[in-house]
Amino acid sequence: MKVFLASPIFNDEMKKAAIDALCSERFVLGESVFKFEEDFARYCKMDYGVSTNSGTAALHLALVALGVKRGHRVVTSPASFVATANAVVHAGATPVFADVELQTYNLDFEQLRQKITSETKAVIPVHLYGYPSDMDAIVETARRHGLCVIEDACQAHGAVYKGRRVGSLGDVACFSFYPSKNLTVAGDGGMLVTDDEEVAEKVAKMRDCGRVTKYVHDVIGYTSRLNTVNAAVGRVQLKHLDEWNEKRRKNAALYDRFLSDLDELVLPPSVGSEVEPVYHLYVIRLKHRNKLKKWLEENGVGCGIHYVLPIHLQPIYKQLYGFSGGEYPKSEELCRTCLSIPMHLHLTLDKIRYVSEKIHEFFENKIYEK
Ligand SMILES: Cc1ncc(COP(=O)(O)O)c(C=O)c1O
């Protein structure tokens, strides 16, 4: 049996929307872009949506629009995709890391508190793997110190925290539509949502070359627009997002059931009554991670490691900021032991059972000793 790690959806409805947009709209900043922004903002229950050509661009422009610049510090999690911290560097500021809690793999607000100085301007909590961060504690800490809160919701479209969708829990939230995400646009793409009109206007201008009118520019802008064809696909995907997230939750519940008897594994954080995660990834943790990955791959099961290194130990961050290891032990532990097993909408009960059986075999037959 072959079981892919991820499997993006691009069906006839999306193909039609793409062709229609290509044939009848401007390629750049066509009607679908603005409709997608409206739809997505409404989905998050926010006033404004501004699309970009990536989640990284959304994060970068959010920081700039909020006034983050050289001399400022921005606290975020080292257990994330490198782009979270890159956006801070792009804005000219210094990324400062605070460790995660191993129960959720998200920013520990106590660690955050310890990292705040007079130069700190913003915090970027990451809803890693689609599991919402403890936003009440983070926002309260941020407010007490006058910091902006930018949610990195790039992996968490539709996740719910205490009855509210992520994207509506800070000042600004950023999403990615990269093909592996719960919602994609059949290519790269991103979106920023906010209730702050000024921030939305600034970002809309900056992503479009800083233009006031066609050839008049009053800020140094970027070419960071989402293409019309991608927005048209995104609009169709958004209509299905809740139903798709529900399917991911059902898949996760099956894995939970089939794997819960294995003491050697740490399963994803429990759901509880206050959070509804969206399982962008289903990540298990174990001591013999590399051997299990090899075993599963030999048996046709796609696996991933999210991530091989915490951001502070990426070669460029070691070089720029002098990290050498040991600074953020929980994030380092996560990266040493995490394994993403298949999670997508084309998984069947049989496939989930097969993956789970292979994991059982790995321990029962002590494959890790080989
Ligand atoms: C947590 C996180 N932040 C930021 C990004 C950057 O998004 P993009 O790849 O669309 O630039 C990603 C995704 O790739 C991500 O997973």
Q: What confidence score (pLDDT) does residue 339 get?
A: 98
Average pLDDT, the chain: 97
182 pLDDT higher than 90: yes
Residue 237 Cβ contacting ligand 1 at under 6 Å: no
DSSP characters for 278-341?
A: --SSEEEE-TTHHHHHHHHHHTTB--B-TTSS-GGGSHHHHHHH---SSSSHHHHHHHHHEEEE
Q: What confidence score (pLDDT) does residue 272 get?
A: 77
CA 89 to ligand 1 centroid distance, Å: 15
Q: What is the pLDDT of residues 13-35, one digit of tens each?
A: 999 999 999 999 999 999 999 99
Q: What confidence score (pLDDT) does residue 287 get?
A: 96
| Average pLDDT, integer, range 205-214 | 97
Q: What is the pLDDT of residues 97-133, one digit of tens each?
A: 999 999 999 999 999 999 999 999 999 999 999 999 9
Q: What confidence score (pLDDT) does residue 125 get?
A: 98
Residue 52 Cβ contacting ligand 1 at under 6 Å: no
> What atom in ligand 1 is closest to the CA of residue 54?
10
Residue 178 Cβ contacting ligand 1 at under 6 Å: yes
| Average pLDDT, integer, range 149-164 | 98
Rounded to an integer, what distance in angstroms lies between the CA atom of residue 51 and that of residue 42? 14
Q: What confidence score (pLDDT) does residue 271 get?
A: 78
| Average pLDDT, integer, range 296-305 | 98
Q: What confidence score (pLDDT) does residue 86 get?
A: 98
CA 264 to ligand 1 centroid distance, Å: 30
Helix (H) or strand (E) run with residue 211 in it: strand 211-213
227 band by pLDDT with thresholds 50, 70 and 90? very high
